[in-house]
Structure 1
Amino acid sequence: MNTQTVDIAQCITQNLQQYFHALEGETPCNVYDMVLTQVEKPLLECVMAQCGGNQSKAAAVLGLNRNTLRKKLAQYGMLGV
């Protein structure tokens, strides 16, 4: 089986191009926040799962302060994760 590593930046670029194309000339807004939300939540979900829900371990893996991680988890309704 031939597997290829897909670069995250390449995926984001392709999705942004599709997003802009789908707008059909409409002016986009809040693209920065939209992209961060689309990337940050799955990142947090994945790391929390890898760390068995341990916030201290997840914060270390992410390179975040534990309080910052808790704030982000609360922002996405993930404190019970």
Structure 2
Amino acid sequence: MHEHDHISRSVKLAMEQYFRDLDGEAPAAVYEMVLACVEKPLIEVVLTYTQGNQTRAAEVLGLNRNTLRKKMKTYDLI
């Protein structure tokens, strides 16, 4: 099993639990919710991995450095 298979399975299990926990409420904006839940910890972990080097973190994430900085501001990481 590849590493990305573990991540994919974790997301699948979490989403299945989310829908079970709705308890009759209608889901809304699920795509944005999932991205917001995943993006901040992803950036935090990559920044830790790169010892705070934003240029390297942007490379690891496959983002432009300016895009990374905007996302860091969004999540109060700078």
TM-score by length of 1: 0.86
1:19, distance to aligned residue in structure 2 (A): 0.7
Residue of structure 2 in register with 1:52 after alignment: 51
Unaligned regions of 5+ residues in structure 1, if any?
none
SS class of match (1:7): helix
SS at match of 2:26: coil
Q: 1:22-49: CA deviations, max 9, x gaps?
A: 1112101111111001111111000000
> CA separation in 2, counterparts of 1:19 and 1:52?
33
Matching of residue 71 in structure 1 with residue 70 in structure 2: yes
Q: Aligned residues, how many?
A: 75
Larger helix percent: 2
Q: Are 2:46 and 1:19 equivalent residues in the alignment?
A: no
Provide the identity percentage: 51
**Bigger CA radius of gyration:** 1
The Cα RMSD (Å) is 1.3
Which structure 2 segments of 5+ residues have no match?
none
Using structure 2 for the length normalisation, give the TM-score: 0.89
| Runs of 4 or more above 3 Å deviation | none
